[in-house]
Structure 1
Amino acid sequence: MDQNGCVGTTTPQERMNTNYNVGQGRNNIENSHSMMFPNNNYPNRNQISLQTNTHNKDKKPPNFDGTSNWQDFLVQFEMVAAVNKWDDNAKAFELATSLRGVAQGVVTEIEPLRRFDYNYLVSSLTSRFEPVNQENMYKVQMNSFYRKPDQTLPEMAQEIRRITRLAYPTAPIDIRNQLGKDCFVRALNDPKIQLSIFQREPKTIDDCIRFGVEYESFTLDQKRTNNSKQGLRKITETEESDDELVTLDTGATICILHPRKYEILPVEFKPEIKKHKTKLCLPDGGFIDTLGYVELPLQLGKFKVTHKFIIANIDVPAVIGYDFLHKYECILELGKGVLTLGQNRIQCIKESQIDSVFKISIAEKLIIPPNTEIITSGVIKGDASSIMNAMTESLPSKHTNNILIAKAVVDPSCGQIPVRMANITEFEQTIQPDTHVAICEAVEVNIDSNETYVDKLSKVNSVEESKEISSHLKDLEIRSSELLNEDQIKLLNDLLIKYDQTFSKNKSDLGRASAIKHTISTGNAKPIKQAPRRLPLSKRDEVNDEIQRLLDCGVIEPSKSPWASCIVPVTKKSDGSTRICIDFRPLNNITVHDSYPLIRIDDALDALRGCKWLSVMDLSSVGSSHNENDILYRKWIHSTTEETILQLIVPNELKQEILEMLHDDIQSGHLGISKTTARVQNRFYWLGYKQDIIKHLQNCHVCNSRKQSPTRSRRMKRYNVGVPLERVAMDLVGPFPLSYRGNKYALVVSDYFTKWAEGYPLPDMEAQTVADSFIKNFICRFGIPRQIHTDQEGQFESKVFKELCEKLRIHKTRTTAFRPQSDGLVERLNRSIEDIISKYVCKNQRDWDEQLHWALMAYRSSEHETTKLSPCMLMLGREIELPIDLIYGPHPQRDEFPTETEAANSYVHNLETLMWKIQQKARKNIISASEKQKRQYDIKANQNAYKVGEPVWLNILARVKHISPKLQRNWDGPYIITEVISDVIYRIQKNPSSKFQVVHHDRLKPFYGKVDDWFKIPETKSH
């Protein structure tokens, strides 16, 4: 068609040429924008246009906005691309242009050079809208999936297929079909249709759909054919405003409105109620009072009119009576269910077709404490706006087995009702959202206006409200607490409070169990008649008093049963009082007794084979003891070998001697708890022998002095710094092979904040040499640090170094003995430097001091794991220039340096700003890294704080010449804690004449033996 609207004809060759020209034009347009898309390359685009026919060229991919399923869109897009024969570049272009909304933002976030990489584009969209490793989430969705309202079975099946595919992506198709079929049946949430599908044994989910549709069609048809009863009819509005169902009652003489419906009317449509003193007569002969009448606007279909309504408490929202039908000449066709009102025909609904039973669910997660009653809000599942009165009942479910739900008459028309629930268990109960807990069914309520009963709700008391012991248990508490400590007394009090109702308050408080009822089976026997018996005169008053007491206690009650039996007064031996017994012997003769079959004795004995309880309980039997040669033995059967062993019962005087012989002697070897217990158990027995063995081994000085070093026991103590040179760590490394320059050691210095590292080769490790090197090489270049942290090497504890720190006002700190972890920064730096030097040093290693400076340069120019910045950036405010920068250009950070025309003050200002920013970033990273290190370290740590005056063992790490460390004892003690310096540092002393030692917590362990009482705990003065 040309510009004038004329239609022309072209030959196939001309159409091909036209396509070819169009393809060229498109390619030219794309080439004209090549500066915007550097990687926009469409090879053989002209050939694509030639090979694509006119029909396939019109196929366009759908649009994707992120709300629909990504995999479904991708499959359809791949099919369109295959039809159009697009290559990867064309597919990337078409995919990017078909995205909308949120999905379009994903392409914007991709680097421009990679936007035309089809595979990368697909992977980016997949990770955004179909993330991997989400199988568990989709499995949970499958387990909680249920049919939504107004959702058809095919729609539900399609959704289940999608979730099943995502939940089990690698499962075979037949397995996925089986899982989808089970999920489909479970999601129906209707036992009738579930049973119908299950009985027909479906093979696939398609069979389930077909069977379910057939069942629903059949039941719907049955409702139409069986519902032939003519009852009240309801009509509804057809406007788009809020519709309201009203009842059309040809037997009602007037129109009636429920008071609650009147209250919710808008103010502009809510006239004042006028007085109306008459009563309304109900079909059953009863009467109800009226509140008055109002003139209200009414719209039925398109028919609008103002009519008079009586306000009365009825069972439906509103009733259209005969007065309305007569006044406006309405025609009601009962057969068709149509109301004709002027020119309007309104379709009516039979009352029997409106749902009258609805499920109630909980909208939010609900947690009910034990022994607690609550009132929460329940949501009506369905349209209950036409029902004014309904009764709620509990819905049996596995989710509400331990919860009681009270019956109540409620108004469900607003969509929410109060639900009263009680947790009668001793445990907390949780109800998940959307859990069906009850049902409500429409009912008719008849209330006598003259008599109104109001029951006051009793207060629900929790068992935790009472925190004091009752008066009748005070004496029991006092008598039971004589031999208990404070913690045990508290546990006893909690126990008495919890089970307060279990104890009798007085002689009359007998209590009665209601958990079970007993019946006496007499078969077909007739009641037994017993003649009255004469009571002695001396017992009559006592019997009468006892009968009255039992009546007052509620143990007995008056009865006229034909099974009455005679009483027999019996005198108690304890206090001579009279108690009443019943002569049930004739009744016992005709009672059908229960059967109690006994097992075979040989089966019972075989069942005891290998049981461990026999070795514990046999002391209660006389047969477990054995007397041989006037010596008392105990028979003990081994649990595994079933061998019978005679154990000598040991008196208290010989217990300690036996333990020393079986553990301390050289033949016993100071073995551990299990081996020592086995030795004692095979020969001897006394009550509590295992506890005595454990206590003996804890107090054994030899065993505790040899045991291996303990595992990490104290949590990490952090020390973070905030500015450069606030704290500097120092250490000596060596000895190394004597270098060509005569050096054998190296002084390593590191700043705690910037992680800047310095290393100075030294010919020796004398204190004067170390101090001179530190002053000339470090202090003269970087300034005086505020604090120096070293180990306890002699060079750093010397008089020279002490005077150096005093003159320069440097705070000197040190690690505890044999605790290199306290100076972890420089210790880890030493390992890194040694590792770098080892890779470049010559074979004889005598050039190590020449490689030291290069190793430090590499360390300072690399990013530190803690600060996430290089030491050069933090110390100098810039990255140093490396040889690679001479070849490939300077570091990007160099672009921030000023040009020749920039003023000096501007450069200083920018440098200060940059230094402030990077130091602030470093502080955050240091805090984050230290928290992570502490968290990982504290996983295996145990809190075991020591107090002043407490005896401890000290782990000895020093080695003695000519003494093998493998045979050396690892612990020495006992030491006394004389001062707690910090959470992890303690000052200890072995005896009054020995020196103090400052040690770390991890080198200590508790001492359980006897200790000389030479240390006096200082008294704390109170002000």
Structure 2
Amino acid sequence: MTVDTVDEELLKCVQNKNVVTDVSVLAPQNELTPKEGESSPVPVMVGEDEEELSPVDITLGVDEGEGSSYPVHPDLDVSRGAFGRAQMGDPMLINAREQVTVVSGVPQAPDAEKRFPHFAVNNDLFYRVSEIRGEIVEQLLVPQPYQRMVLDLAHNDALGGHLGAEKTEARITDRFYWPGIGAAVKRYCSSCPVCQLTAPAPHYRNPLVPLPIIEVPFERIAMDIVGPLEKSARGHRYILVVLDYATRYPEAVPLRNPTSKAIARELFFMFSRTGLPREILTDQGTPFMSRVMADVCKLFQIKQLRTSVYHPQTDGLVERFNKTLKMMLKRVVQRDGRDWDHLLPALLFAIREVPQASTGFSPFELVYGRRPRGLLDLVKETWESESSPHKSLIEHISQMRERISKVMPLVQEHLQKAQEAQKRVYNRSAKLRQFQVGDRVAVLIPTVESRFLAKWQGPYEVVEKVGEVNYRVHQPGKRKPYQIYHINLLKPWRDREVSAMVGVGIESDGVDAVHIAATLSKPQTQEVKEFLQRNKGMFSGLPGHASGIQNMIL
């Protein structure tokens, strides 16, 4: 019999609904006879007149709190006799005793002790004998009431180290075993409150939801602040970045301080050249959330769009531009870095002059309807020694309008293709996730105090779905008790099971799930079915025990 066969047989025994109470067939009588001074290992169901067992306090001197205090079951008797009785009475293990092949070191079948894993009885305790890392290990089989205690000791606090499921399982299986231990450890570790709040941020990726394509230049603009940077000779430390969504035309203005008044003043200057936008997309930075900005937008009837907190990817266009601009500054500034504000106009021209991958045209060309005359044009004109033919103003305007009318459909087509390509690449590793109102979640909130502090906070409750990928979350005790977060910053909160851990969850839809032996005759089978129907309220798929008596079903 192979390892897999034995495990499958054990699980099959566990999942079988038949009740076996005559334990005399499980081991030789002399192995089940209690020794002097010991309790009988025969299954004993506790009645009302049973002597109450005294609890054993195994507190380890740790802080009180969920997932970090002991005892888990203060009324649990951890004595050897009580443990042995629990082993014999556990319905998860009692059928499996039929698989015992070694009793007190004596094989009950040829070569039984050489096949791994196998089950053995030593000193009236039930073991699974397995080979782990080349060493023979006797794994004490743990009955259901004691499984939670083992899990707590193996995982929690400094002695457990809050290690992952794989290492926690390895720590336990060096000493203990029960059917379904792998699933039990995974459930336990995944529902550990401490681990959920301190786990590293996973790379959650919900499928990309592109923003609508804007056809009119400067109808929607994105705005952000870059800095603080090296203080320039003129006292500038920040850059106000404004980017047009339709043409990708950038503006970058150096600022001494990113106050709302300074930003509003620069916006007035820009609006005088481009006209008033309909929408402004920003993050939730303090200058953009100020009363001044709200008044400016109200005055000019501009709709304020904001990214969800801690998720700048919503405004990915301006974030990518910021990255490009900072890289360009790094490559062209002088050694002391104090001339960067003088270089901004030249860098902006360089960006505006070249075609963008998403539109297929340069931002300058889309705004002004012509190609910019740059240094390369001067070189070309010098080499060709010919000047451009003179055009009248009317001819220039006519040609510009004609060119724009031809270019804009191509721009929309390029933008559409660029969005589809970006979405296709992004969604390769994306997975659609959704939350429902009432779901409990943990929220990833950056912290700068210490890298050892928990970055996940919670659990909090989802109270509303806002759009396709944002959720409003209730955070009691916070300055802003209701906050909107992108789904990539949320993960499901797993509550720790209140009841004792069950090694293998056995679900039952009623008496229909009860297995009736095929050896019964038709009248006997019908009689059993009628009995089950009359008493279906007494049956459950979960293991337990009778409160006062022990029933024997033959």
TM-score normalised by structure 1 residue count:
0.37
How far, CA to CA, are the matches of 2:487 and 2:265 in structure 1?
35
Deviations 1:497-516 (A, max 9, x none): xxxxxxxxxxxxxxxxxxxx
Q: After TM superposition, give the deviation of residue 995 of structure 1 in Å.
A: 0.9
What residue in structure 2 maps to residue 857 of structure 1? 349
Q: After TM superposition, give the deviation of residue 743 of structure 1 in Å.
A: 2.1
What residue in structure 1 maps to residue 466 of structure 2? 981
How far, CA to CA, are the matches of 1:746 and 1:1011 in structure 2?
52
Q: After TM superposition, give the deviation of residue 1006 of structure 1 in Å.
A: 0.7
- Write out aligned runs for 1:724-803 (5 A): 724-776=217-269, 778-803=270-295
Q: Are residue 613 (structure 1) and residue 105 (structure 2) matched?
A: no
Q: After TM superposition, give the deviation of residue 889 of structure 1 in Å.
A: 2.1
Preserved contact between residue 712 and residue 940 of structure 1 (Cα < 8 Å): no
- Write out aligned runs for 1:434-513 (5 A): none
Deviations 1:5-60 (A, max 9, x none): xxxxxxxxxxxxxxxxxxxxxxxxxxxxxxxxxxxxxxxxxxxxxxxxxxxxxxxx
Q: Are residue 627 (structure 1) and residue 100 (structure 2) matched?
A: no
In the alignment, residue 629 of structure 1 is paired with which amino acid? N
What residue in structure 2 maps to residue 926 of structure 1? 415
Match of 1:935 among 424, 446, 459: 424
Deviations 1:603-662 (A, max 9, x none): xxxxx7x854345547553314433333x2223221651x43222222221111111111
Match of 1:1006 among 467, 474, 492: 492
Q: Does the C-alpha gap of structure 1 residues 897 and 803 become closer, same or farther in structure 2, counting only changes over 3 Å? A: farther
Larger Rg: 1
SS of the aligned residue for 1:831 comes to helix
Q: Does the C-alpha gap of structure 1 residues 745 and 991 become closer, same or farther in structure 2, counting only changes over 3 Å? A: closer
Q: Are residue 700 (structure 1) and residue 208 (structure 2) matched?
A: no
Q: Are residue 690 (structure 1) and residue 179 (structure 2) matched?
A: no
What residue in structure 2 maps to residue 509 of structure 1? none
SS of the aligned residue for 1:613 comes to helix
Q: Does the C-alpha gap of structure 1 residues 1004 and 897 become closer, same or farther in structure 2, counting only changes over 3 Å? A: farther
What residue in structure 2 maps to residue 880 of structure 1? 372
Q: After TM superposition, give the deviation of residue 723 of structure 1 in Å.
A: 1.7
How far, CA to CA, are the matches of 1:896 and 1:633 in structure 2?
98
Q: After TM superposition, give the deviation of residue 665 of structure 1 in Å.
A: 3.8
SS of the aligned residue for 2:121 comes to strand
SS of the aligned residue for 1:889 comes to helix
Preserved contact between residue 885 and residue 891 of structure 1 (Cα < 8 Å): no
Preserved contact between residue 611 and residue 639 of structure 1 (Cα < 8 Å): no
Q: After TM superposition, give the deviation of residue 897 of structure 1 in Å.
A: 8.5
Q: Does the C-alpha gap of structure 1 residues 957 and 628 become closer, same or farther in structure 2, counting only changes over 3 Å? A: same
What residue in structure 2 maps to residue 673 of structure 1? 165
What residue in structure 1 maps to residue 28 of structure 2? none
In the alignment, residue 5 of structure 2 is paired with which amino acid? W
Preserved contact between residue 612 and residue 639 of structure 1 (Cα < 8 Å): no
Preserved contact between residue 792 and residue 816 of structure 1 (Cα < 8 Å): yes
Deviations 1:488-535 (A, max 9, x none): xxxxxxxxxxxxxxxxxxxxxxxxxxxxxxxxxxxxxxxxxxxxxxxx
Q: After TM superposition, give the deviation of residue 1010 of structure 1 in Å.
A: 5.6
Q: Does the C-alpha gap of structure 1 residues 897 and 934 become closer, same or farther in structure 2, counting only changes over 3 Å? A: farther
SS of the aligned residue for 1:708 comes to coil
Preserved contact between residue 219 and residue 276 of structure 2 (Cα < 8 Å): no
Q: Does the C-alpha gap of structure 1 residues 665 and 749 become closer, same or farther in structure 2, counting only changes over 3 Å? A: closer
Match of 1:710 among 202, 206, 222: 202
In the alignment, residue 852 of structure 1 is paired with which amino acid? L
Deviations 1:811-856 (A, max 9, x none): 1111111212111111111222222223332221111111000000
SS of the aligned residue for 1:812 comes to strand
How far, CA to CA, are the matches of 2:332 and 2:147 in structure 1?
68
How far, CA to CA, are the matches of 1:924 and 1:896 in structure 2?
32
SS of the aligned residue for 2:289 comes to coil
Q: Does the C-alpha gap of structure 1 residues 874 and 940 become closer, same or farther in structure 2, counting only changes over 3 Å? A: same
Preserved contact between residue 226 and residue 239 of structure 2 (Cα < 8 Å): yes
What residue in structure 2 maps to residue 970 of structure 1? 455
Deviations 1:534-577 (A, max 9, x none): xxxxxxxxxxxxxxxxxxxxxxxxxxxxxxxxxxxxxxxxxxxx
How far, CA to CA, are the matches of 2:387 and 2:362 in structure 1?
18
Q: Does the C-alpha gap of structure 1 residues 921 and 692 become closer, same or farther in structure 2, counting only changes over 3 Å? A: same
In the alignment, residue 192 of structure 2 is paired with which amino acid? C
- Write out aligned runs for 1:561-572 (5 A): none
How far, CA to CA, are the matches of 1:657 and 1:867 in structure 2?
62
Preserved contact between residue 370 and residue 400 of structure 2 (Cα < 8 Å): no
- Write out aligned runs for 1:241-320 (5 A): none
Q: Does the C-alpha gap of structure 1 residues 797 and 891 become closer, same or farther in structure 2, counting only changes over 3 Å? A: farther
In the alignment, residue 473 of structure 2 is paired with which amino acid? I
Q: Does the C-alpha gap of structure 1 residues 850 and 689 become closer, same or farther in structure 2, counting only changes over 3 Å? A: same
Q: Are residue 646 (structure 1) and residue 138 (structure 2) matched?
A: yes
What residue in structure 1 maps to residue 525 of structure 2? none
Q: Does the C-alpha gap of structure 1 residues 857 and 649 become closer, same or farther in structure 2, counting only changes over 3 Å? A: same
In the alignment, residue 1009 of structure 1 is paired with which amino acid? D
Q: After TM superposition, give the deviation of residue 883 of structure 1 in Å.
A: 2.6
How far, CA to CA, are the matches of 1:838 and 1:822 in structure 2?
26
Q: After TM superposition, give the deviation of residue 731 of structure 1 in Å.
A: 1.0
SS of the aligned residue for 1:839 comes to helix
Q: After TM superposition, give the deviation of residue 983 of structure 1 in Å.
A: 1.7
Answer 1 or 2: higher relative contact order, Cα 8 Å, separation at least 6: 2
SS of the aligned residue for 1:667 comes to helix
Preserved contact between residue 235 and residue 256 of structure 2 (Cα < 8 Å): yes
Q: Does the C-alpha gap of structure 1 residues 1011 and 622 become closer, same or farther in structure 2, counting only changes over 3 Å? A: closer
How far, CA to CA, are the matches of 1:896 and 1:867 in structure 2?
28
What residue in structure 2 maps to residue 990 of structure 1? 475
In the alignment, residue 348 of structure 2 is paired with which amino acid? L
Q: Does the C-alpha gap of structure 1 residues 915 and 890 become closer, same or farther in structure 2, counting only changes over 3 Å? A: farther
SS of the aligned residue for 1:666 comes to helix
In the alignment, residue 227 of structure 2 is paired with which amino acid? G
Deviations 1:57-106 (A, max 9, x none): xxxxxxxxxxxxxxxxxxxxxxxxxxxxxxxxxxxxxxxxxxxxxxxxxx
In the alignment, residue 690 of structure 1 is paired with which amino acid? G
- Write out aligned runs for 1:550-561 (5 A): none
- Write out aligned runs for 1:51-62 (5 A): none
Deviations 1:91-142 (A, max 9, x none): xxxxxxxxxxxxxxxxxxxxxxxxxxxxxxxxxxxxxxxxxxxxxxxxxxxx
Q: After TM superposition, give the deviation of residue 895 of structure 1 in Å.
A: 11
- Write out aligned runs for 1:797-812 (5 A): 797-812=289-304
How far, CA to CA, are the matches of 2:381 and 2:120 in structure 1?
97
In the alignment, residue 200 of structure 2 is paired with which amino acid? Q
How far, CA to CA, are the matches of 1:730 and 1:936 in structure 2?
26
In the alignment, residue 707 of structure 1 is paired with which amino acid? A
Q: Does the C-alpha gap of structure 1 residues 896 and 698 become closer, same or farther in structure 2, counting only changes over 3 Å? A: farther
Q: Percent identity?
A: 31
How far, CA to CA, are the matches of 2:484 and 2:497 in structure 1?
21
RMSD: 2.6
Deviations 1:176-205 (A, max 9, x none): xxxxxxxxxxxxxxxxxxxxxxxxxxxxxx
Q: Does the C-alpha gap of structure 1 residues 717 and 680 become closer, same or farther in structure 2, counting only changes over 3 Å? A: same
SS of the aligned residue for 1:979 comes to strand
Q: Are residue 637 (structure 1) and residue 29 (structure 2) matched?
A: no
- Write out aligned runs for 1:72-83 (5 A): none
Where do 5+ consecutive residues of structure 1 fail to align?
1-607, 1013-1023
Aligned length: 393
In the alignment, residue 1004 of structure 1 is paired with which amino acid? L
Q: After TM superposition, give the deviation of residue 690 of structure 1 in Å.
A: 2.0
In the alignment, residue 924 of structure 1 is paired with which amino acid? E
